[in-house]
A and B are shown apart, each in its own frame.
Chain A
Amino acid sequence: MTAILAILEQRNGALRKGSVELLAAARRLADQAGTTVDALVCGAGDVAGLDALGAAGADRVLVATAADFSVYCPDGIVATVAAVAPQYRAVLVSATATGKDLAPRLAARLGGCCGMDVTAVDIDGANIRAVRPVYAGKAIQTVMLSGTVVLAVRPGAYAGVSAAKAGTREPANVPTYFKRLTVTGIRAPEKASIDVAEARVIIAGGRGLGDPKHFALLEELAEAFGGEAAVGASRAVVDAGWIEHGAQVGQTGKTVAPELYIAVGVSGAIQHLAGMRTSKVIVAVNRDKDAPIFKVADYGIVGDLFEVMPALTAAVRAAKAH
């Protein structure tokens, strides 16, 4: 029970964003413990990009193939991992919707423990130490985990590594399992948009917008960023029904860490600040110069958003054109 297993997600035959970063976290643990990293990919057929995983830190790539794996199949993945689990000291997944679903199932099946949404991991003797935000990021908890440890590592917490080796590839056995839950597929939203949890840039709106139709101003700015920006929202406007709940950033919404967070007409309630404070750069546009949002913003513009937003959109468009 020594090696580290990283379970990589694929969708439609392509590895998902974050696979390389997850391998980096696995590599760190393995190097500290003097052990190896196995990457497990569950798919229904060929998965693109496996050749690059050796250089990204995997000593061995295990490919589990089953018809059920064309979509997410938690019962099949749990059975596949359980069959090889005695080899592993830790099992890592990305803390995506899928990974957060999978991690506790695995921990329960393996009789281990689960560290959810961790941002840093280290070996500490016989244990694994993990750092994780709690209270939506209002506090940071450090935990010591023993036995077989399952970790869901927050996307973006680790930068990819270059391991400069090829890695080997082997098929992994998929044991017989009972499929309790049948995933029928993923339906894309009618309007193609980027998830706030994955966007490099977030343009978030609050009650200061005054009317749901004014989200159009935020969407225009998001478009000016050219496919890397998502529109987010505070709880107040989600609860008012101005925008769908998936856009909510905060303690009962999503915790985000984009490179740039532009808060428009967001006053900065404590539960919203908790969800967005890990953004790299925060810009606030608000009419009220005393709004709490300005206390966490790197840059602020005090002013009427109807005047500022069109100018900002034009300026970003111009900057992007260069």
Chain B
Amino acid sequence: MKIAVCLRRVPDTTSKIVIGAGGKAIDEAGLKFVPNPYDEYALEAAIALKDAAGAGETVVVAFGPDNVQETLRTALAMGIDRAVHLQGAPSADGLSNARVLADHLKDGSYDLVLFGKLAVDDYGQQTGAMVAELLGLPCATAITALEVADGRATVAREVEGGVEHAGCSLPAVFTCDKGLNTPRLPSLKGIMAAKKKPLDIVPVTAPAGKVEIVSLALPAERAAGRIVGEGAAAVPALIQLLTTEAKVL
């Protein structure tokens, strides 16, 4: 099994967002950055599948500026075999970025290419499916179950009102959702080993995109609410407000 995982570096989900000067991006000062949480399910799946197969290689790929190397090292510390840094400036257009990734992945002879279902910063939720389309490979998004046997994969994904099941032959592209597995933490031994694992740097340029960010703003603050009262005694007043004022009952 040769498996590629595409990784993004994002602000920690507990971060408070401050709009940066220029009003088009966040102010990154003081923020802690982490591997995109959904990508961790992809990393775990890759490591577990290779372990189960008993042979193969896991590769983590990230497209971005030099600071993504720190994120790649985290993936190596989890147990990924080697890393590729596609060095360049990603576009606001997911398809431009997908082209960069697809160009790199197309000659890699990967059995599987895995993504997180979305990156928790831009919520773009498109690169994985676009890479699949560009590579002409089968694709399922936001999977919560994955089984691989005899050159085929079966997957499950949550849809409104149920779980959708699907299957395809390999190679294939999947994007991973919470519930797929429990990602392992990097061990101290893994962190030491990661320093010696290969990290190749490949300069790239994203093709011109068709998406331009006009502005980024904080959402309107909710008006301050009120404490209706304390304990069960406050319930009648709450019901009254929900019925007559809020009109949601």
Contact = CB atoms under 8 A, between A and B. Distances in A.
Contacts of B234: 301, 303, 308
B215 A142 contact: yes
Given A105-B139, A141-B215, A197-B160, 8 more contacts: A113-B94, A186-B159, A260-B248, A270-B15, A277-B222, A297-B225, A301-B238, A302-B231
B228 A108 contact: no
6 contacts: A139-B19, A183-B165, A260-B248, A294-B227, A300-B228, A308-B231
B18 to A, nearest CB: 9
Nearest to B18: A139
Contacts of B243: 319
Nearest to B102: A108
A307 interface: yes
Interface string B126-139: 11111011100111
A177 interface: no
Interface string A280-297: 111110000100001111
Interface string A177-190: 00011111111110
Interface of B: 11, 13-17, 19, 26, 37-38, 92-95, 98, 120-130, 132-134, 137-142, 144, 157-168, 172, 178-179, 209-219, 222-232, 234-236, 238-239, 241-243, 246, 248-249
Given A134-B216, A319-B239, A105 B130 contact: yes
A311 B121 contact: no
Interface of A: 16, 71-72, 74, 78, 96-98, 100-101, 103-105, 107-109, 111-117, 129, 132-147, 180-189, 195, 197-198, 201, 238, 244-246, 248, 250-253, 259-260, 269-271, 277, 280-284, 289, 294-304, 307-308, 310-312, 315-316, 319-320
A139 B17 contact: yes
Nearest to A313: B235
A253 B141 CA distance: 15
A251 to B, nearest CB: 4
Q: Which among B26, B121, B129, B144 has the greatest number of chain A C-beta atoms within 10 A? A: B129
B14 A269 contact: yes
Q: Which among A16, A143, A253 has the greatest number of chain B C-beta atoms within 10 A? A: A143
A182 B122 CA distance: 30
A114 B123 CA distance: 12
B214 A129 contact: yes
A103 B225 contact: no
Given A96-B159, A107-B126, A108-B95, A145 B222 contact: no
Given A139-B26, A145-B210, A147-B210, A270 B164 contact: no
Contacts of B241: 299
Nearest to B161: A195
Given A145-B211, A299-B242, A315-B235, A180 B125 contact: no
Nearest to A201: B248
Given A136-B123, A198-B160, A180 B249 contact: no
B214 A135 contact: no
Given A141-B213, A294-B225, A300-B228, A182 B167 contact: yes
B214 A114 contact: no
B162 A108 contact: no
A39 to B, nearest CB: 20
B140 A181 contact: yes
A140 to B, nearest CB: 5
B159 A98 contact: yes
A105 B138 CA distance: 11
B139 A181 contact: yes
Given A113-B210, A187-B163, A283 B142 contact: no
B130 to A, nearest CB: 4
Contacts of B162: 186-189
A113 B209 contact: yes
Contacts of B126: 103-104, 107, 114, 116
Contacts of B120: 135-136, 251-252
A281 B246 CA distance: 7
A114 to B, nearest CB: 5
A303 B213 contact: no
A271 B15 CA distance: 8
B117 to A, nearest CB: 9
Nearest to A144: B212
A186 B213 contact: no
A140 B158 contact: no
Contacts of B144: 245
Given A116-B126, A134-B121, A315-B236, A143 B212 contact: yes
A113 B216 contact: no
Given A108-B134, A252-B13, A184 B242 contact: no
Contact of B95 (A107, A134, A197, A308): A107
